[in-house]
Amino acid sequence: MTHPTRREFLHTSAALAASGAMLGCFAEPTHSADPNRPRSNKGRIYKANKGGGIAKDHAAMVAKLEEYELLGFDGIEGGSPDIKDIPALQKAIEQTGVPVHGVVHGTHWKQRLSSPDPKLRDAGREVLEQAIKDSHAIGGSSVLLVVGKVTGDDETHDDVWQRSIVEIRKVLPLASRLGIHVLIENVWNGFCETPDEYRDYIDEIDSPWVGAYFDIGNVRKFGPSEDWIRILGTRIVKLDVKDWGQENSFCRLGEGDVNWPEVRAALSETQFTGWATREGGDNSLEDTSQLMDELLDL
C-alpha cells in the first residue's frame, strides 16, 4: 500500500471538498477569441463569491444563498468572526443546499501571526483556531489566512516566515482533526513576492493541511499570474479571482492585464480542481457570474 504525497493529498482533498474597485481599467478585455469553445472546467472549478457575514438572521441567510444559486454560483465564502449566528447559517445551508465552502480569518491583518508582540500572535492564533471550528461547523473545507506583514526591523521577512510557521504548526492538530485546510493567500504584505518563495514557504511547513489560496489578480503586481500557477502547481487548493488594470487598479474581470487564456492553460496543466471565489465587484452579481463562466471555462 502506498501513501499519497502531501501535494497529492492537497489536490485530492480539495477536489472532494469542492464537490460536497472598478476605476482605471481601460485595457482591452483578455477574453478568448472563441466564446463558443467547450467549457472544459465545468464540474472541475466551482464558482463562488465573498460573503463575509452572509447575513444577520436565518431568513436573510436563506434569501442570500438562494440568490447566489439563482445566479449560477455553486456557493459562497464566509468570514470568521464575521458570521454572528453559526446555528442559523447551518440551518440555511441545510434548507437551500447551497454550501459555504470556507471562511476568511477576519483579524489576520491586525492580530498578525508575525507580530513582534507575543500577545498579538496568541490572539491571532486563537482567532485562527475559532475560524477552523467555524468552517467545520458550516461544512466548509478551509480558512483563508494572511500570515503577517513585513513592517520593518522588528518584523522582517525572516520574522514573518519563522514566527508565522511556529503559530500555524500549533493549530495543525485541530485542522487535521476537523479536516480543515489552512490556506495562505498571496497579498501585498511584503512577504513571498516571488513564486519560488511562496512555494518554499508552504513546503517548509510540510503539512497536507496547509496550501495556497492563490489570488490571480494580486500577483499581477509582481509578474504573470500563469507563471506563478505553474510554479505553485498542486499546492494551490483554492483561487481568489480578480483582475488588475493598466491604471494600477483592480477592475471588472476581463478588462485588466490578467491573461485569462494563459491562466486557463496553466490551471489545466496543473490539473486544478476546486473553488474559485470572486473578490471585488463587477457591474452586478449577474455580470460576475457570467464573466467567471467565460474567463474560467465554466
Mean pLDDT by 10 residues, the chain (298 residues): 44 45 39 67 96 96 98 97 96 98 96 98 98 98 98 98 98 98 98 98 98 97 96 98 88 96 98 97 97 97
Q: What is the dihedral of CA 76, 249, 225, 296, to 10 degrees?
A: 40
What is the domain extent for residue 91? 10-295
Kindly state whether residue 105 falls inside one of the protein's structural domains: yes
Kindly state whether residue 63 falls inside one of the protein's structural domains: yes
Tell the residue number behind the cell numbers 501513501, with chain if given. 3
pTM of the model as a whole:
0.89
Q: How many domains does the chain have?
A: 1
Kindly state whether residue 261 falls inside one of the protein's structural domains: yes
Identify the pLDDT of residue 112. 97
Kindly state whether residue 2 falls inside one of the protein's structural domains: no
Identify the pLDDT of residue 35. 65
- Distance separating alpha carbons of residues 9 and 232, to the nearest angstrom: 15
The answer to whether 76 and 54 are in contact (CB under 8 A) is yes
Kindly state whether residue 48 falls inside one of the protein's structural domains: yes
Identify the pLDDT of residue 186. 98
CATH at residue 203:
3.20.20.150
Identify the pLDDT of residue 132. 98
Kindly state whether residue 285 falls inside one of the protein's structural domains: yes
Kindly state whether residue 5 falls inside one of the protein's structural domains: no
Q: What is the dihedral of CA 215, 170, 192, 124, to 10 degrees?
A: 70
Kindly state whether residue 3 falls inside one of the protein's structural domains: no
Neighbour count for residue 108 (Cβ, 10 Å): 25
Identify the pLDDT of residue 34. 64
Residues composing the chain: 298
- Distance separating alpha carbons of residues 276 and 256, to the nearest angstrom: 18
